[in-house]
A and B are shown apart, each in its own frame.
Chain A
Amino acid sequence: MRFVAAVLATGSLFATALPAHAETGVSSSEIKLGITLPLTGAASPGYNKIGDAMNAYFKYVNDNGGVYGRKITLIQKNDEYSPQLSIAKTNELILKDKVFALVGPLGTANFTAVHKSVGLARRGVPSLFLNTGFSGFANKKAYPTSFAILPSYAMEAKIAAQFLKDNMAGKKLGLVYQNDEFGIDALGAFKAAGVKFDVTIPYTSGTQSAATAQTWVSQLAAGGAQVVVFFGVTSATAPLLAVAAGAKYAPQWILGSVGSDPLTLRALGVPVAVLNGALTLSGNPSPNDTNDEYVKFFQEINTKYNKAAFDDYVLQGMNLGLMTVQALRAAGQNLTRKGLIRAMENKGSTFASVGYSPLGYSKTSNVGHTGYYMAVMDATGDRKPYGGSVVVYTTDSGSGPVVKSTFKRPALPAKGLPTNS
């Protein structure tokens, strides 16, 4: 009996010695964050650079005192773009590594599965800046702890539709789209906007090849399409443009944001010259635009901490890092998961980000960037704003109108180190 009493007494001593409420993944000197993304496998090219880029920015922040004295540790886990692995790895992040929050998880099917199976909302785990444009994640009730970053595919298609009506009226239109969430969201938006295509070619993800591109090109050419809109992934853009160039078929290409990364296109063997004059929807400045203060700064960070070929993915990764640090700062010195979510809701829309369009975060919305501008690519694969200056259009994923944005992007914090609170 005396023994039991002694044990109880020591136990209670220890209990009182512990801090009142320590948040998972946060100590006095460290904040642990996690990301799942395809680092190897078919879907990895490009995306596999996002984690390292984010980490490079975190290293820079850590070298400059961290976030309220806490250093950020980012744990990257490879999910090979498979939902099972995504869940297994997220489980490791949350149950074993005990991360504070997820940042930049990648892939629509993956995040859907992770959110449900791991129970992110139930566990109250903040999931910031989902790297997917699926409009379904904009449901704040279903995804109360998640926040998107990319404008949705539906927004993209609505803005493309507006562009077609304004600039390509009277021309014969063609559409090639991936027959899944990219394309279906897009198709609906084009229909709603009243844009009719003379040639429509759906394709199934995974079937893209030089041989199938041959049939697309002959269909498009036979239908006399003068403007061809493409909504799909880069591995399909590559054969399409290459085959068309070989066949001397040169319509005005309009490429969706997902399938128009010049570096990846080039790596896939598309002659750079075919990109010349192709239009693309874009939310960020060109990664080569050193006149842009964000790009210039991130390039410096890349040279010092990352040493990867600087492209859209690296730019995106570093920008996610910048936004994450602002979110962590906004949540205050007494960092909690609930506090982080509140900070995103209350202050998220004011964060500095490289994207040209406004951020849609609020108490009722977890939507990130909300717009696009049209850019034109040159013979080196670089892109410049269409018409000489950036004209951003914003809209929502529903039936809202497409409007020209008057939003002024916040300036980059001095030395790229946020001081917000």
Chain B
Amino acid sequence: MELWRKARDVVRKKIFFFILLGWVLLIIGDRVDELRVYQGAQIAMYSIALASIVLLTGYSGQVSLGNGAMMAVGGYSAALTLNNLQTPIWFAFLMAILVSALFGSLLGAAAARLSGPYLAGTTLALAVGLPAIANQFTFLGGEPGLLFDIGFPPESFGEEFTQYKWFFWIASFIALISLFITSNILQSRFGRTWRAIRGNSLAAELAGVHSSRMKVLAFTISSALAGLAGAVLAMTISLVAPGAFTLALSFALVTGAVLAGISSLPGVVLGGLILVVIPEIADAVANRFGDADKLNNYLPGLIVSVLLILSVIYTPNGPGENLRKHLRKKATH
């Protein structure tokens, strides 16, 4: 009974925290210019995508390089739903979640038999191959892709309310809800079981954990999150096309997750921020030197790669994780 009340308090606090966060976002959205609002929507989108990696890799210990492909599944499902059935937007997002979850569970069933580099290889193949499938079927729109137009913001918001602010609101709302749910899942029995499997799957099985079933579950939920992120991405670019879900996207996501701390959910916001900010920093650095155009083309990739390498060498769990440990140590001393 005591435990139950404690748990309820934790959830209440968390709900309060997320509402507060949403309120802060609302205020920020009102204060900054259009470019920042658009970047905010991107950060929200990346946060959802990174959460799917944290859940899958950080918790259940399965390495996937195919998150871009899962995002493609979600994006295309949402676009096909919206375009062909003329449904409300929320239903398109729901379909993105359902279809990619289904896809993820099928993939998870196969993936549960694989581990380490074999799993990474399989999912890598998926990231390379899946988006190209769109070229094979005309109903998927080929190279130019399909439009995903959620329409203008409601008129009651007024003239000043821009399209990008509308994207930002929707993306932030979806990100807040999905991060709230994910954080609850990770703190539940499932989260603990996944960590047990990641730590030592044999020991976990001896303790009565059905490890392959739990792995499939992790894949399913992670895919649902990635698919949702894909639909949000499609919203912000008004389009789904093979070129939107490239291998580079999958790698950028893994980098973001590693930099933010692969097993830390709050870190995903930091990760999203890093992915959006790096090109900006590169821009600023390049402008200080002469031939800005030339330098600027290579700098973002260079910064990402160097950060990833440094992070893997010096802080294998990600700088975010180290920082948190450091703070915790300070607190206990």
Contact = CB atoms under 8 A, between A and B. Distances in A.
A206 interface: yes
B35 interface: yes
Interface string A223-250: 0000000000000000000000000000
Nearest to A136: B144
Interface in A102-152: 108-110, 112-113, 116-117, 119, 122, 134, 136
A271 interface: no
Interface in A44-86: 51, 76, 78, 80-84
A51 B297 CA distance: 13
A286 interface: no
Nearest to A51: B293
Interface string A10-34: 0000000000000000000000000
Given A109-B243, A179-B136, A84 B233 contact: yes
Contacts of B248: 80, 82
A117 B236 contact: yes
B243 A112 contact: no
Given A83-B243, A116-B239, A108 B144 contact: yes
Interface in B226-285: 233, 236-239, 241-244, 246, 248-249, 279, 283
B163 A40 contact: no
Contacts of B241: 83, 109, 112-113
B238 A82 contact: no
Contacts of A112: 144-145, 147, 239, 241
Contacts of A205: 132, 135, 143
Nearest to B138: A184
A320 interface: no
A180 B147 CA distance: 16
A83 B132 contact: no
Interface residues of A, number: 35
A354 to B, nearest CB: 25
Interface stretch (A91-99, A209-217, A360-368, A382-390): A91-99
A80 B244 CA distance: 11
Interface in A172-197: 179-181, 184
B22 interface: no
A291 interface: no
B161 interface: no
Contacts of B293: 39, 51, 76
Contacts of B35: 91-92, 95-96
Contacts, number: 96
Contacts of A96: 35
A88 B43 CA distance: 12
B248 to A, nearest CB: 7
Contacts of B149: 116
B33 interface: yes
Given A95-B35, A181-B143, A109 B239 contact: yes
Nearest to B131: A206
Nearest to B246: A82
A179 B242 CA distance: 13
A87 interface: yes
Contacts of B132: 204-207
B232 to A, nearest CB: 12
Contacts of A78: 296-297
Most buried by A among B144, B149, B241, B298: B144
B297 A119 contact: no
Nearest to A39: B297
Contacts of A204: 132, 135-136
B144 A116 contact: no
Interface of A: 39-40, 51, 76, 78, 80-84, 87-88, 91-92, 95-96, 108-110, 112-113, 116-117, 119, 122, 134, 136, 179-181, 184, 204-207
| Closest 5 pairs (CB-CB, A-B) | A180-B143, A116-B238, A180-B142, A95-B35, A113-B239
Given A116-B147, A134-B144, 16 more contacts: A40-B301, A78-B296, A83-B237, A83-B239, A84-B249, A88-B279, A91-B35, A108-B143, A109-B143, A112-B144, A112-B241, A113-B244, A116-B239, A117-B163, A117-B238, A181-B144
10 contacts: A40-B297, A78-B297, A81-B243, A83-B145, A88-B42, A96-B35, A109-B244, A113-B239, A204-B132, A205-B132
